[in-house]
Structure 1
Amino acid sequence: MTLEEPPLRPPGDRESAPASLPAPPALEGISWRGLDRLDLPALAALVAACEEHDDPPYRTSEDELAEDLFDGSACDPDVNTIAGVTADGALVAYARVRALPGHEVNVRVFLGGGVHPEVRRRGVGTGLVAWQVARARQLLAELPPQVPARIATYVEDGMGDQEALLRRAGFEPRRYYTELRRDLALPIPATTIAASLRVEPWTQELDDQVRQAHNEAFADHWDAEPQTPEAWQEGNSHFAPEWSFVVMDRSTDRVRIAGYLLSGRYEQDWPAFGYTVGYTDLLGVRREWRGRRVATALLTTAMRAYAADGMQYAALGVDTESRTGAFGLYEGLGYVPTRSSVLWSIEV
């Protein structure tokens, strides 16, 4: 299924930021405040309860929560989070907003949160989304006005209640994504590339060159924002360097990165999946080297690395509407769709 992509609103056409934020729902025995790093164990317990009930095809680690709420350059939990806390310190709901780094192409504020199954159907989710949207508008008022903006969140397929809540709050489905996996028990094809191109292990010394290659490779992708050195280092708690590779062009004295594949090891997800998996987080080929089997060589090399470490599957995500032909590439290598998600947004 595809959507006609509407343009973002022209810069300067944003609604005024609210002077105050709506109060969260009044629940007996529950107080509301911002989150603190000391809340991480209680927050992890709340998220685990939500995921046990909703059964999404992943599980969120405490490290991921720390990165999302406290460690990023745009994190400010005192003003960008809110949580419902019982007298004994248990969390029953939380919400956060976060402006993603980089404002050259557009500005984006993403929402996240959860409500404990035992306190649902009491207006908590509706109240928290209203708080998030208002706070997001305040954040947007502080960011560059010369580029368009959106307030957004991802929803996994099958989450009908969450979709209905977002629609009531003014969100619309904007972009579709599909997760693919590949059985590593199947033969992995051999891949031949030009002799001047070599698949080599990722190293820390190459990392900033990989960042620059990524910015070039994704410059023509939808919603892509150039990665600063600071932003590039964020959210790496599950990075798997042993499963990450680059293709180097050594045809001249000026050695260049033609493409790269960066992997993640998300062990907390494996029980939910029911199998072990090596995950391709980022795959990119610079324009000059496209059509030369660079991506295929990277993918098959990563598959062999995953299999050598005992992984049962390789997996990755793809923008369903991407015009790069990536879907055909993955299907040709034996990847099959497993699930999908949707980006919901308010264009501001």
Structure 2
Amino acid sequence: MMINELLPRGFTARPSSMEDLEAVTRLINTCEIAVDGESETSLDEVCTAWQMPDFHFETDTRVVFSPEGECVGAVDVGHRQYARAHMFGNVHPNYQGRGIGTYLLHVAEQRSQQFIPHAAPDARVSLGTGVSSKDQATQRLLEDNGFQPVRHFWRMGIDLDGTTPAAQWAEGLTLQTMAPGTERTLFEVDEETFRDHWGHIPSTFEEWERWMVKRESFDPSLYFLAMDGNQIAGFAFCHNEKELGGWVNVLGVRRAWRRKGIGLALLYHAFAEFYRRGVQSVYLGVDAQSLTGATRLYERAGMHVVKDNIRYEKELRAGRELSTQSVEV
């Protein structure tokens, strides 16, 4: 059977384009609200993902339309070093159970298979995706197609009321925000720190720059650096997503400076700054089984789990795992 035959009669599919940005974002938000009661994906986030280096609409996306021309399904596919492929797909709640999800899944797997010749010859190649723990229909679809749950990731949040404790800094540490021209230094520190996180595969500076700096919500005054002299000890890169709240997109402390309270101080400082700017809620994403104990830090800061996502994976080729799986303590 050809993949296109999986679509219901009268439904059509084509690669996405930037003209579909608003329609696809609305679709994603509709699906999020149906499953979890609120949306969390911004137009800026989707736009940034579609502008990543090595992303191609023609090969890496599909959008599905109903006979009436409504956007009812969409998927996009990316990769890290061609070995760790990932997909992000959605089907409108009113159109589920008609084979659209199966179609999008097959499109994503077919595209991911094309990455295999470009991966390191001995590398394990897999396709992964995240799904809300409440979305049992998608979990069944994935499992019926050979995917297995491998990890849980939490969205944690806190509602701010102005009572956040003041940040306490270890002796000799100072706080500053991102200065112009320091992008590559911050990228290198970010990469160094996140080698200790499960599933990490090194990215390129161009990928990091697009995701962290070249986006509408980028604000260097929300990129906080804990400095020990002229060395970066820890960092919190935050974005104000307006109606979606404040986000601590990346929080890290370098190995030599861990267990000095820097992560907690950075969080408290970020909370206070968001509150000063009128932001009522702050969120972040974290590996529920964090190798560095990040979940305990966030709970100590007053955050709680607001959403549980399950990462599913399907092995496309056996081999050497390139991503971080454990950390020497």
Which of the five TM-score ranges fits, normalised by the shorter chain?
A: 0.7 to 0.9
Query: Residue by residue, what CA displacement relative to the aligned partner does 1:132-188 show, whole Å, maximum 9, x if unpaired?
Result: 112211223332223222200011121110111001011111111122223322622
Which position in structure 1 is the counterpart of 2:136? 160
User: Which of 186, 192, 196 is matched with 1:220 structurally?
Assistant: 196
Q: Percent identity?
A: 28
Contact 1:42 1:89 in 2 (8 A): no
Matched ranges for 1:22-101 at <5 A: 22-55=3-36, 57-69=38-50, 71-86=51-66, 89-100=69-80
1:282 counterpart = 2:254: no
Uncovered stretches (5+) of structure 2, i.e. residues with no partner: 317-329
The residue type paired with residue 257 of structure 1 is I
The residue type paired with residue 100 of structure 2 is V
Query: Residue by residue, what CA displacement relative to the aligned partner does 1:99-136 show, whole Å, maximum 9, x if unpaired?
Result: 23xx3xx8211111222233221112122212211221
Are residues 268 and 146 of structure 1, via their aligned partners in 2, closer, same or farther at CA, if it must alter by over 3 Å?
A: farther
Which position in structure 2 is the counterpart of 1:258? 233
1:185 counterpart = 2:161: yes
Are residues 192 and 261 of structure 1, via their aligned partners in 2, closer, same or farther at CA, if it must alter by over 3 Å?
A: same
Please, what TM-score do these two structures have when normalized by structure 2? 0.86
Which one is further off, 278-287 or 117-126?
117-126
1:308 counterpart = 2:308: no
SS of match in other structure, 2:6: coil
Q: How many residues align?
A: 313
Contact 2:170 2:262 in 1 (8 A): no
Superposition deviation, residue 246 in structure 1: 0.2
> d(CA) in 1 for partners of 2:237 and 2:136?
32
Contact 2:253 2:262 in 1 (8 A): yes
Are residues 320 and 49 of structure 1, via their aligned partners in 2, closer, same or farther at CA, if it must alter by over 3 Å?
A: closer
Matched ranges for 1:300-339 at <5 A: 300-339=268-307
Uncovered stretches (5+) of structure 1, i.e. residues with no partner: 1-19, 270-276
Which one is further off, 58-67 or 46-55?
46-55
> d(CA) in 1 for partners of 2:263 and 2:140?
38
Query: Residue by residue, what CA displacement relative to the aligned partner does 1:193-252 show, whole Å, maximum 9, x if unpaired?
Result: 3442111112233332111111111222212122321011123433343322001111xx
Are residues 76 and 222 of structure 1, via their aligned partners in 2, closer, same or farther at CA, if it must alter by over 3 Å?
A: same
Are residues 158 and 247 of structure 1, via their aligned partners in 2, closer, same or farther at CA, if it must alter by over 3 Å?
A: same
Contact 2:233 2:253 in 1 (8 A): yes
The residue type paired with residue 33 of structure 1 is R
Superposition deviation, residue 346 in structure 1: 0.9
1:292 counterpart = 2:227: no
Are residues 21 and 262 of structure 1, via their aligned partners in 2, closer, same or farther at CA, if it must alter by over 3 Å?
A: farther
Contact 2:11 2:67 in 1 (8 A): yes
Which one is further off, 229-238 or 294-303?
229-238
Contact 2:33 2:39 in 1 (8 A): no
The residue type paired with residue 78 of structure 1 is E
Please, what TM-score do these two structures have when normalized by structure 1? 0.82
Are residues 38 and 192 of structure 1, via their aligned partners in 2, closer, same or farther at CA, if it must alter by over 3 Å?
A: closer
Which position in structure 2 is the counterpart of 1:4? none
